[in-house]
Amino acid sequence: MMRLATFTGAALGGWAGWDLGQPVGIGTAFLISAIGSIAGVVGGWWLVRRYFE
């Protein structure tokens, strides 16, 4: 369950970050996508630890 939640969080966070940063430029999109992916991993980890363990 942990792997699924962290993967899903990383994918959604990266997508959202890319979508937010893309109008500014590709470098900004890449940076915000990386930050969103990290936030998604942490969010997925927190969700599983909080509600499924």
Contact 31, 21 (CB under 8 A): yes
Q: Where are the domains of the chain?
A: 2-51
Q: How far apart are CA 51 and CA 53, in angstroms?
A: 6
pLDDT for 21 equals 96
pTM over 0.85: yes
What would the pLDDT profile of 9-47 be if each residue is shown by its tens digit?
Answer: 999 999 999 999 999 999 999 999 999 999 999 999 999
Q: How far is CA 46 from CA 8, 27, 35, 37, in A?
A: 13, 29, 16, 14
Q: How far apart are CA 25 and CA 12, in angstroms?
A: 20
